[in-house]
Amino acid sequence: MVAPYATIGQRVGRAEGPAKVTGAAVYPADINLPGTLVGKCLRSPYPHARIVSIDATEARQLPGVHAVLTGADIPETLVGRFLRDIPVLARDVVRFTGQKVAAVAADDTDIAEAALSLIEVEYEELPAVYDPVEAMQPGAPSLHPDFMSYEGRVEGPQEHPNVTAHAVWENGDIEQGFAEADLVFEHTFRTQRQHQGYMEPHACVVQVDDDDRIQLWINSKMPFQVRKQLADGIDQPETQVRVNPTVIGGDFGGKGGFMDTHVAYWLARATGRPIRMVMTYTEELMAGNPRHPGVMTFKTGVKRDGTITARHAYLVFDSGGYAAFKPAKGVSYGPRCLGPYRMGHARIDSLMVYTNQVPCGSMRSPGDPQSVFASEAQIDLIARELGMDPYTFRLHNLVKDGDTSPLGHHWQNILATRTLEAAATEAGYHDTKPESPGKKLGRGMAIWERHIGAGTSVAKVVIDPDGAVTLYTSLRDTGSGFYTVLPQIIGEELGIPYDTITIKTWTTDDTAFDTGVGGSRVTNVGGNAVYGATEAVRGKLIALAAQTYGWPADDVSLRDGQLSAPGQTSVSLMDLVRQSGAPVEGEYTHTAGSDGSLTVFTAQVAEVEVDEDTGEVVLKRFTTAHDVGTILNPIAHQGQIEGGVMQGLGQAMMEEVQYEDGQVTNLSLGEYKLPTIRDIPELRTVHVQSEGGPTPYGGKAIGEQPISTVAPAVVNAVLDATGLSMTDLPVTSEKVYNALQQAKRASSEP
């Protein structure tokens, strides 16, 4: 179908592409101010230990070293995105392997690393706990005895010394729901740590300028939040910090926080020089902020005909040694995990628990890939026990128009059934499976829904007298393509080529606030801000034409870059602005509140082949169906789908930050296995057209929608092929092989 727009809906390439491929794009590591020094951190080799002493004498005497700082050299302040519980440099105790203990500023990286090797630290090891369930048991070591004094914690008593927060979502009476059931099923599932896998590691540059203001360049997608995090941590007003724009080399949720900014600031203060800090990938895997592991127990009550009466999800997330990188004050992980199913009674308990592992943070659709995996994997196990096809079981329970969600929301335009049917049809879910000697073919499906993100964004559109059109925004493109989509909106409304529009990114001094990137919000929030600013410009152009040419304002129209009135010769908007000799500009702030009635459905089907001798699982084909409105840029839209599917595939089959006694054992990308081009299966995408969403032109969110049902679809396909219930991720060949051998032994026993 041909889109009814000139640029919206067209397959246009990335506006920022040329700058990136030619090397013109400036990342934080490229910022090279006069006198810049390199900052590096000494990290703890122990998961839990008391710091007895630190001797940095030799390091400070090394030529080329300008400063060495320990926790004793800076104010005793805790920092964090919301919960402020992590020291800038450890003072008395370290709580994970990789925690920052000391920092060095030197002329170059080699000197800085040599200085780190000269710092002598004496530790006294302490008992450690690595599992979040064990961390809640009586007798577990209390990792944060001063927790109740921390700023940013959820108010109220702490139910266990290692529980940072406990959120509850519920509807109906869960005990009544289980009493109404004929059968009750309970299963426990586990997921792993998954690193975001961006190409560019965390990096920042900090300078204290001649006016004593802190200038920051950082690859954070939330400049106003990181400004506050830095200002709070150094006890300065936010107006003393300016976050300057740089390009971000990938995010996937992991670059919303401060990381090394406080350390860089104190090194800059100590030296009077700008400080650049760039993490290595070893540091990323040891001390980044990966996806939280989870231990999730689902209890579901059903009637004998397959009707779900109640579900209770008990979710335990491993926070790691600190909770400073969480994207919310308490626990926001898990509210979508019950699935888009009818049920009268539901409850979700979601807990965040300290352990002596790497502190975790956001990764694409935080909390959903873990909890939706558990939820949808259990759906197949229940269907199997009931003797029902999983597809039929889902159709029997999916919400329809007029139903409420498990938590009582009244969704608009419910497309759960249509989306699942579209995925099953395109995948050939019910087709006869081909046979292959020694191999079993299986098909599995999963479905979920996710909201459309909310927030505040500001945009300004300016047409200069020379005809140049500029978009001003605080948004940092993380690689998802909205630096292309936003100019498309302007181009569509003004009738000018989108690729002639320049984007200029504001510093945090240039506008009051912007929520930033994340939560599937940008096209909705930022897109509507750009649309509003463009409409303001459009109105001013029409008024200017009426004033300049004496046309009745109500008769003036703007189309295809031309202003006209009945019976008059049209004039291009560029000529009009040139003739006026003054710029025409419009600015607009758009705030979108959280709307529980808006959601988007995704259904996916995986087809796998399992080798019965080796346990190898090969993903042969993957089908993904999405409830969509107007697609503003098909290339970017499909890129989000394919990228989300591949990250879900990584979670399902290979990715894992591996630990042994509190030590990360795969500290390189050669050992931490990310999916590559050879792992991509045949991918089929289905768009289920629906009523428009809240973005300009009626679009819907897509950024986080494709990821969360990948793992359960794969696991359910393995179940279909082998009868094996795989309850922990990733599903490796070794796990499948061991399960096959165990099943063989069990079947041969008398």
396-428 residue pLDDT tens = 999 999 999 999 999 999 999 999 999 999 999
CATH classification for the domain delimited by 453-592, as one of 3.30.365.10, 3.30.70.100, 3.30.750.24, 3.40.50.2000: 3.30.365.10
Distance of CA 186 to the CA centre of its chain: 29
Give the pLDDT band (50/70/90) at residue 13: confident
Query: How high is the pLDDT of residue 596?
Result: 85
Sequence letter at residue 48: H
Q: Which amino acid is at 683?
A: L
Q: What is the pLDDT of residue 691?
A: 86
Q: What is the pLDDT of residue 3?
A: 54
In this structure, which amino acid lies at residue 670?
G
pLDDT number for residue 1: 38
588 three-class SS: strand
Fold exhibited by the domain 294-452+595-748: Aldehyde Oxidoreductase; domain 4 (3.30.365)
Check whether 236 has a pLDDT greater than 60: yes
What does the DSSP assignment read for 192-239? --B----SSPPEEEEEE-TTSPEEEEE--S-HHHHHHHHHHHHT--GG
Write down the pLDDT at residue 440.
96
- Each residue's pLDDT tens digit, 672-691: 999 999 999 999 999 999 88
Asked if pLDDT for residue 15 goes beyond 90, the answer is: no
Given this chain, do its domains 294-452+595-748 and 453-592 carry the same CATH topology? yes
Please state the domain extents for the chain.
31-126+199-250+255-287, 294-452+595-748, 453-592
Residues of the chain with pLDDT > 70, as a percent, come to 99
Residue 2 has what pLDDT? 43
Of 114, 169, 125, 162, the closest CA to residue 141 belongs to: 162
Residues 145-179: pLDDT tens digits? 999 999 999 999 999 999 999 999 999 999 999 99
- Is residue 707 pLDDT above 80, yes or no? yes
pLDDT at 111 over 90: yes
Task: Report, as an integer, the average pLDDT of 93-116.
Answer: 98
Backbone angles phi, psi at 300, to 5 degrees: -130, 130
In this predicted structure, the answer to whether residue 26 has a pLDDT above a threshold of 60 is yes
pLDDT average, residue stretch 374-395? 98
Cis peptide before 552 (omega within 30 of 0): no
- What's the chain's average pLDDT? 96
Does 83 have pLDDT greater than 70?
Answer: yes
Average pLDDT over every residue of 357-380: 97
Q: What length is written for the chain?
A: 750
Q: Is residue 488 within 8 Å of residue 530, measured between CB atoms?
A: no
Q: Taking the chain, what is the end-to-end CA distance rounded to the nearest angstrom?
A: 63
Q: What is the mean pLDDT of residues 183-207?
A: 98
Is residue 461 over pLDDT 90?
Answer: yes
CATH of domain 31-126+199-250+255-287: 3.90.1170.50
| pTM reported for the whole predicted model | 0.97
Bridge-based pairing of strands 37-43 and 100-106 is antiparallel
- Check: CB of residue 412 under 8 Å from CB of residue 597: yes
The encoded tokens of residue 314 equal 């008990």
pLDDT at 722 over 90: yes
Report yes or no: 25 and 247 within 8 Å, Cβ to Cβ.
yes
